[in-house]
Amino acid sequence: MSLFTPTAKSTAFYYFGNFAVSGGRYFFHILLLRLLLPSEYGEFLAYLSLLYILSIPNTTVSSVVTKFVSDFRGKNDHRSINEFFYYLIRKLTPLSIFLGVILIIFAANLSVILKAHPTAFIILGASLFISIISTVVRSYLLAFQHLVAQIVIGFIEIISTLGLAYVFIILGLSATGAVLAQIVAGIIGVIISFQVIKKKVLPPVLSSKRSFSLRSFTGYSLIYAVGSISLLSTDVLLARYFLTEHLSGIYSSLAVIGRTIYFGLGPLIALVLPIASHRHSLSGTSKSVFLKLGGVILILGLLATGIFVSFPNFIISFVSGANYLEAARYLPIFAFSMLLFSINLFLINYFMAIGKQQINVYLLAASIVQPVLITIFHQDLNQIVWSNVLVEFFLLATLLWRVLKTKL
């Protein structure tokens, strides 16, 4: 595939557009780092990490929608595209409501465990009521590769988040205000997203209550969601629990800056499933997708990691300010762990796209080992950071071994 085909050009636009959106999201974190004390920022990232874990069902749904709708597109099966949307809404809305109610009920208990304000947990619980619909709509947008629309919506969301967060924090809502700003901006984004895909799902095919056989792929997608989100969030929650509020804030700063590597590569990783699935459905092979996207991810990841390794003090000082300089000594190794994490997710997404979902068992094993290691080794930040590196390194070694044994 030439670098100048429409697909290549739209992919490049999508990546660089998402990179700009990610920059906006990091400006949001910079705003919070400047407005909040380390202990308060640690509280906010604990909220965010808990939200990631609660979104495990949503991540599963996203993988399922992207995979199946991409397959339907490859077969020009427009009826299934329509029916699948309402099938998912019917099946998943009760789960979304259940999780929201549970979070609201246990808000007071969670506020004690995570040293945070209970109001934020109530807000998070309320947001879960619409989270499934939001996930289905956004996943349809990705499956149809409406790349320009995704970039525009991303910019609208980040501008809304920045404005609302500033107002809410100035009004005294602190970390809770930052959480509320993200949720309101997300609602705005999903409303716009639905306008883009509505021709695909409206009017509904009401004459059919068709079921879809999702069990095998959904089960492994759930494992993927559990594993990937756990590896990205559990360390922050355990740091908040085991360390002082100040040190947990320092670790949160380290985490959000180091994860720039993953979030920068995330748009390309997200494209692996729809593009490789679509190509595999059409021709039975997608090796070129693996080589080209994988090569770009590796090169960009190494460049970003090199920057973090070379200028840790400058980056921490510029992004977070003097209050967070303790994190600078750990930034190079944390950045390396995020590079490994990104490569691991790329490989797993590709295996899923070509129908080898069993690979997620290794991801699940890694997500179990990580909290065990941190529970044992948490006397300081260095031990937690190195626990993450060891988990990602051994996961990558296992996945590369599987690549060598698999016909791509």
pLDDT digits (tens, 9 = 90+) for 222-271: 788 888 888 888 898 898 888 888 888 888 888 888 888 888 888 788 77
The residue ranking higher by pLDDT, 280 or 372, is: 372
Among the listed residues 255, 332, 258, the one whose alpha carbon sits nearest the alpha carbon of residue 44: 255
* Contact (CB, 8 A) for 199 and 37: no
pLDDT at 291 over 80: yes
The residue ranking higher by pLDDT, 120 or 162, is: 162
3-state secondary structure of 356: coil
Q: What value, to the nearest 5°, has the Cα angle with vertex 327 and ends 321 and 331?
A: 110
User: Does 258 map to a domain?
Assistant: yes
Q: How many CA atoms lie within 13 A of 241 on its CB side?
A: 15
pLDDT for the residue numbered 15: 64
3-state secondary structure of 53: helix
Distance of alpha carbon 182 from alpha carbon 186, whole angstroms: 6
Q: What are the CA-CA distances from residue 51 to residues 55, 103, 256, 272 (Å)? A: 6, 10, 15, 25
Distance of alpha carbon 36 from alpha carbon 34, whole angstroms: 6
Mean pLDDT over each residue of the chain, to the nearest integer: 82
Distance of alpha carbon 385 from alpha carbon 344, whole angstroms: 18
- Per-residue pLDDT of 64-115, as tens digits, reads 887 788 778 877 888 888 888 888 888 888 888 888 888 888 888 888 877 7
Distance of alpha carbon 315 from alpha carbon 330, whole angstroms: 12
- Per-residue pLDDT of 114-132, as tens digits, reads 777 787 778 778 777 777 7
* Contact (CB, 8 A) for 67 and 273: yes
As for how many domains the chain has, the answer is 1
Q: What are the CA-CA distances from residue 339 to residues 161, 303, 375 (Å)? A: 27, 10, 23
pLDDT at 329 over 50: yes
pLDDT at 290 over 70: yes
User: Does 1 map to a domain?
Assistant: no
Q: Which domain holds residue 304?
A: 6-405
